[in-house]
Structure 1
Amino acid sequence: MHGMRRGLGTGMAANGVPVDTVAQVLGHKGTKATKQYISTDLQSLRCCTLDFDSLGGGV
């Protein structure tokens, strides 16, 4: 069951559903318990990173 709930939570989050909505669907009172059911794929993580060139101080 945990695998199915994790898949549902991850899929919803990947499609832009707010975490508080995911929590409600999974039957959680708050978002703290929901975090264990949401994993992020590598492509989504890349959207949150900075390119080294953007840091400045080039050599």
Structure 2
Amino acid sequence: MKIDREDARQALLLTLQPVFIITQCICAGCFSIMYYIINLIVLLLLSIWNLLLAIISF
């Protein structure tokens, strides 16, 4: 039985497709979590800075 190279490539793509989708989902989740954490850190730093300014100005 002769396996065509194109058929082999299609089979490989089909088996790899779920892996790609899963890794894309994981990467997207990581990026959104990182973005959320960075936003929280920036907000915390800004609020701390505002507190310091308020304390200094009194």
- Bigger Rg, structure 1 or 2: 2
Structure 2 length-normalised TM: 0.33
Query: Which structure: greater helix fraction?
Result: 2
Q: TM-score under structure 1 normalisation?
A: 0.33
Higher relative contact order (CA 8 A, sep 6+): 1
